[in-house]
Chain A
Amino acid sequence: MYDVIIIGAGPAGLTAGIYASRANLKTLLLGSSFNPSLITTTDIIENYPGFPDGISGFELVDKLTEQAQHFGLEIISHDVSSIEKISAEGSDAWEIWADQKNFQAYSLIFSTGAEYAKLDVPGEQALTGKGVSYCATCDGPFYREKDVVVVGGGDTAVQEALFLTKFARKVTLVHRRDRLRATGVLRERAEKNEKIAFVLNSEVEEILGDTVVSGVRLKDVNTPNSAKQLRADGVFIFAGYVPNTSLLTDIVEMDDKGYIITDDQMRTSVAGIFACGDCRQKLLRQVVTACGDGATAAFAAELYIDELKGTSYEGRTIDTK
C-alpha cells in the first residue's frame, strides 16, 4: 500500500515525486512506457528559470528523474489501464491496474499531461510518419533542403518552425488567425528569419500525397471556396492540445475540453485525487507552472495523508473547501 501514486513522468509528476519522497511518503510514480512527456520532444526550453543558456526538454526530464530518484522515488514504466475506488482499513483508497499488475494507494496525483491535437483532416492519419509529424526534434533532420509546413500559431508552433529552419529550405507557418499568438521574442525571431513564410487566416483542409506528403490544401477562413494548394514535403502539426485524462472520465470533474478541474491546492472534485501540470484546467501551461503545481499537489497530498492517518502536524491542516 502506497501513500501516494503519481501517474505521469513529466515535469509536474517528477516534481511531485521529489516533494513526496522528501516528505517520506511511500510514493510510486508510474510513467507511460511509450508516451513520453511532450516536453521531451522540445528542442530547447529558454524560459525555465535558472538555465540562462536554455536546456533541452529531454535533458531537463533526465535531470528531474535523477533528482527524484536521489530522494528514493520509485519509478516504474507501466501503462495504467484502470482506476477503482477501494476501501482500506476504513479509509477510501485507490486501486490501479497497469500492465496486468495492481497497485494501491491512499491518494493519487495525476500528472498525465496533454498531447498534440490532431487536425482531423483527410490525409492526416494515413500520412502520419510519411510526412505528417508531431515531433520536430525527431523528424526535422529528414527534411534537409526540403519544404515544410508548420500548422499553428502558438509558442510551440513558432519555436518548432525556428528549429526546422536548421534543416529545411523553406518553412511555411500556416495559422488560422490574422496574427500569431506566440510570445513576443519568438514572433520577432520568426518574422526576421528569411526561411520562414507566413500564411495567416488559413486552415489546412487536407493533407495531400499518395505514399508520402506532397502538399496541403488550404482554405482562407474569410473567403469561402478559396481553396489553394501549397507544395510541401512535410507537415508538422502543433495546433492545440488534448489532455490525457480519459482514465478519470466519470471519476473527477472536468471542463468540456477534458481538462481536470482543481482548486488552488490541486485538489480535484474527489477527496484524495490531485491533479497537476498540463492535464488540469489552468491559464498557463509551461514547465515552470507544471513544477509549481507538482510541488503543491505533493504537499496537499501529504496533508491529506496525515489527516487520514491521524498524524496531522498541529497548525498544518487542510482548510475545508
Chain B
Amino acid sequence: MTEEKFVDNPDHPLEITDSDIDQAITKYPFFVVDCWAQWCGPCRMLTPVVDSLAKKHQGNITFGKLDVDNNPATASKYGIRSIPNLIVFKDGQKVGDIIGAMPEDRLLDEINSYR
C-alpha cells in the first residue's frame, strides 16, 4: 500500500501520517509538508496554493499534507504551535518552517530559500 503512495515525482501533495512521514522524508530529497487542520481557516486558503505549486514544480519539490488533528505525534515532534505551518526537509533533515498563509510567489521564494 505505502509503496504505491510514495510514487516518484507526484504532481499533487501526498497525504502524510505519523506512521509514514519518516519514509517520505527519506525518499524525497526536497520535501515540504503542509501541516493543516479542518478547523483552521487560513489553512484552507493555503490548500489551493500548495496544490498549484505541487503541479508546477513536479519532480523538483515534493509536497505532503499532514492533518495535525489525526497526527499529533508529528506536530509534537517538530514543535508545531501554529498552523498553517510548512515544514521543509532537505536530504532527510528538517531545515526550516514556513508559518502562515501567503501568496504563491512568496511561498515559492520562501521554499527555495531552503535549497
- CB of A22 closer than 8 Å to a CB of B: no
Contacts of A141 in B (CB 8 A): 37, 39, 68-69
Interface residues on B, range: 20 to 34
- CB of B85 closer than 8 Å to a CB of A: yes
Interface residues of B in 91-115 (CB under 8 A from A): 97, 99-104
Contacts of A41 in B (CB 8 A): 41-42
Contact between B41 and A34, CB atoms less than 8 A apart: no
Contact between B102 and A34, CB atoms less than 8 A apart: yes
Interface residues of A in 179-216 (CB under 8 A from B): 211-213
Complex partner residue of A234 from B41, B68, B81, B99, CB under 8 angstroms: B81
Contact between B99 and A34, CB atoms less than 8 A apart: no
Contact between B41 and A58, CB atoms less than 8 A apart: yes
Contact between A33 and B49, CB atoms less than 8 A apart: yes
Of all chain B residues, which has the CB nearest A133? B82
Contact between A79 and B103, CB atoms less than 8 A apart: yes
Given contacts A33-B103, A34-B103, A141-B69, contact A131 B81 (CB under 8 A): yes
- CB of B7 closer than 8 Å to a CB of A: no
Minimum CB–CB distance from A179 to chain B (whole Å) comes to 30
Query: How many residue pairs, one in A and one in B, have C-beta atoms under 8 Å apart?
Result: 75
- CB of B40 closer than 8 Å to a CB of A: yes
Contacts of A128 in B (CB 8 A): 82, 99-100
Complex partner residue of A35 from B75, B101, B104, CB under 8 angstroms: B101
> What is the bound-complex CA distance between A138 and B46, given in angstroms?
13
> What is the bound-complex CA distance between A211 and B81, given in angstroms?
11
Contact between B81 and A138, CB atoms less than 8 A apart: no
Contact between A137 and B75, CB atoms less than 8 A apart: no
Minimum CB–CB distance from B111 to chain A (whole Å) comes to 15
Interface residues of A in 26-55 (CB under 8 A from B): 33-36, 40-41
Minimum CB–CB distance from A81 to chain B (whole Å) comes to 10
Of all chain A residues, which has the CB nearest B40? A138
Of all chain B residues, which has the CB nearest A132? B82
Contacts of A131 in B (CB 8 A): 81
Contact between A36 and B49, CB atoms less than 8 A apart: no
Complex partner residue of B104 from A33, A130, A138, A213, CB under 8 angstroms: A33
Most buried by A among B37, B81, B100: B81
- CB of A139 closer than 8 Å to a CB of B: yes
Contact between A34 and B101, CB atoms less than 8 A apart: yes
> What is the bound-complex CA distance between A144 and B79, given in angstroms?
14
> What is the bound-complex CA distance between A105 and B83, given in angstroms?
37
Contact between B81 and A129, CB atoms less than 8 A apart: yes
Minimum CB–CB distance from A233 to chain B (whole Å) comes to 8
Given contacts A128-B82, A142-B80, 7 further A-B contacts (CB under 8 A): A33-B49, A35-B101, A41-B42, A58-B44, A130-B79, A130-B82, A135-B82
Can you report 20 A-B residue pairs in the complex whose CB atoms are below 8 A from each other? A33-B103, A33-B104, A34-B45, A34-B101, A35-B101, A36-B101, A40-B41, A41-B41, A99-B103, A129-B81, A129-B99, A130-B81, A130-B82, A138-B82, A141-B68, A141-B69, A142-B75, A142-B80, A212-B81, A234-B81
Closest 5 CB pairs of A and B: A129-B99, A40-B41, A129-B82, A34-B101, A138-B40
